[in-house]
Structure formats: structure tokens, C-alpha cells
Amino acid sequence: MTAETRRTALAALPDCFCPADGTRVPAGSPEWACPLCRGPLDLDFSPTPAPLTSLTGRVNSLWRYAECLPLPAPAISLGEGRTPLVELTGTVRAKLDFLMPTLSFKDRGAVMLAALAGHLGPDRVIADSSGNAGTAVAAYCARAGLPCTVYVPAGTSPKKLAQIGAHGARLEVVDGGRESAARAARAAADTPGTFYASHVHNPYFLQGTKTYVHEVWEDLGGRLPDALVVPVGNGTLLLGAALAVRELYAAGLIAKAPALYAVQAAAVAPLAEAWRAGAETCSARPRRRRPRWRPQRRQPRRRRPRRRASRSPAPRAPGRSCPPYGSSAAASSR
Ligand SMILES: [Zn+2]
């Protein structure tokens, strides 16, 4: 890609902005966080999805939702997206995103980051990950011919390390936990010529993860289920889901927004804990070890009232400002 082609391509991309203080960052900037408050950036992009009938005959990948994507379909696509939606029971279906090219939903966002990096032409792409995101970024960088370094915490599964290494990425193993790896990546991210392919900070990642909801909507014939249950680490799949629901609702393509349920593994559940505590922010600290289990006399079970996500503000990813799900503020912020 020549410098002139690159400039023209970048001029067509939406700018980023800080949802906390409104600072704007042009599309071609290497900034990966708000230059003022260092918070995560959002994308100034309010697309209108195409109606169901106009999707017929389009490419069989997430790039079929072209109107909703901030980037044109790149040559580096590995056919990501369009994973099967299978019926488990009469009312429950599962979306099989483990059938993506690198076996996780992270491919949806990684292809966006690699395509964006392709426009920027950095010397090196860096990412931090405990496994799946690093694998996905490494694979798409290999496809794009971009040198890639992935920062991983010590103790990352050898299988994940082998997966990342197999795509030709350099591995930087950082002492400490997941946050230590993220800190090391952030420290390297400001080096000139570096593109930080952060699945937490870069808003283009969410533009990819949201496509799984567009696929569910299409596969169900132009509707969404009453509830979407989403596994959550940092929350990128959940935030992507909220984005897509908002787009479909704003375009009048669904009559009602589904409830969003976020599920975290008990071992590391900062969002779940913050949600239960009614907190505005959350900590990524690992849970304290529970005391050893001892048999206790059985107590009568108390029933807890159920909470629906659509009636309260959505849980926040660490550091990311997420306006109340389904609110008018939310609809106007993108
Ligand atoms: Zn800011």
C-alpha cells in the first residue's frame, strides 16, 4: 500500500473520541488511549444495518454486514464469522464461535485490528493476552504480513503459547499476572511505529465482536431471542452485543431489545462482583482463596430476586465508559 493510498483510506475511517471528556483522536493517529485522561476511546460511528432481504447472496463471513463495519472488507480475511447457531432445546440455542479460524470469538475483533493496522503501516503490532486474543491477533498479523509481539503472563498454558508462536509472533513472557502483561504492553505501546492491538482499549475490536449478534438476528429470520447469555472476561463480547442490539433497534429492525446476561467463571469474576455490589468500577484482582470446604448442616434456601440486565446500567469493562444499555444516552453516543 503506497503512502498516498494509505492517507486516502485513513481519511475515510471514523475518528475516535473519549467518552469521558470528549477529546477527539483522528483515525490515523497512533494514540491507543485518550491523550488527556488515558481512558479507552470510543468510535464516532453510528451505522444503519441493512434489512434482511438485502443480505442474500453476500459473502459468507462477517463482512456481509458491510454497512455496520467501519472498515472495508480486507484481503486478509480468513472467512471469520457466520458460525452455526444450533438448537440445544426447544428454547435455547448455542452460537458455536469456537469454530472460528483460530477457535475463538476473538477473531471477529482481531481481523478489525489487523485490517486497521494494515492502513496505518506500523513497524510492529503488539498485543497482550492470556491466550485467545493473542492467538487471534498473531494469526491475522501473519496473514497481513505485520510483525507481531504478544505479551503474556507467566503461567500461560503451553498450548496457548504454542498456538501464538505457530503464527510467527514473538512472545514476551511477563512475570506476574494478566495485569502485569497488560502493563508491559502499555509501556511498549508508546514506542514510535507501534500499533497496540488491544482488545480492551481499541474500539475497532468491538465493531468486530458485535457481528455475532447480527448473525443471530439474520439466522433467526430478522429477530433476536428474549435473552442473550454471554461469557465475559474483559467484557468485549458483551459490549459488542450491546452495540449490535442498539444498531438493530435504532434502525427499527427489532421491536424489542433482548436482556443481556453476562456470565463469569467463579475463579475470576470482577464484573460479577462489581455488579452484585452495585459498584461503578471493578477490580481485576483474583478472588481470595476460599477456606476449605467443610460439611455443614443444611440451611433452608432463600430465594434471591432475579435481576434483568435491561433494567439497569450494563456492567462496565475495566476503564471503559459504557452508557446505560438501551438508554437514549447509549443510542446517541455512537
Ligand atoms: Zn479522556
Q: Do 71 and 13 touch, CB atoms closer than 8 A?
A: yes
pTM reported for the whole predicted model? 0.83
Q: H or E segment at 149?
A: strand 148-153
Taking the centre of ligand 1 as the mean of its atom positions, its distance from the CA of residue 33, in whole angstroms, is: 8
Residue 311: is its pLDDT beyond 80? no
CB atoms inside a 10 Å sphere around CB 23: 16
DSSP annotation of 170 reads: E
Which 3 state secondary structure label does DSSP give 292?
coil
CA atoms of 3 and 147, how far apart (whole Å): 19
pLDDT of residue 290: 47
Taking the centre of ligand 1 as the mean of its atom positions, its distance from the CA of residue 239, in whole angstroms, is: 19
Residue 310: is its pLDDT beyond 80? no
CA atoms of 230 and 320, how far apart (whole Å): 18
pLDDT in tens, 82-110: 999 999 999 999 999 999 999 999 999 99
Q: Which of 28, 30, 7 is nearest to 196 (CA)?
A: 30
Average pLDDT of every residue of the chain: 86
Taking the centre of ligand 1 as the mean of its atom positions, its distance from the CA of residue 320, in whole angstroms, is: 11
Q: Do 309 and 262 touch, CB atoms closer than 8 A?
A: yes
Q: Do 209 and 240 touch, CB atoms closer than 8 A?
A: yes
- Return the C-alpha cell found at 303: 430465594
281/296: higher pLDDT: 281
Taking the centre of ligand 1 as the mean of its atom positions, its distance from the CA of residue 43, in whole angstroms, is: 13
Average pLDDT over residues 31-48: 95
Taking the centre of ligand 1 as the mean of its atom positions, its distance from the CA of residue 20, in whole angstroms, is: 5
Q: Do 326 and 260 touch, CB atoms closer than 8 A?
A: no
pLDDT of residue 34: 95
Taking the centre of ligand 1 as the mean of its atom positions, its distance from the CA of residue 11, in whole angstroms, is: 22
Taking the centre of ligand 1 as the mean of its atom positions, its distance from the CA of residue 330, in whole angstroms, is: 18
Q: Which residues pair with 304 in a beta bridge?
A: none
Which 3 state secondary structure label does DSSP give 24?
strand
pLDDT of residue 12: 87
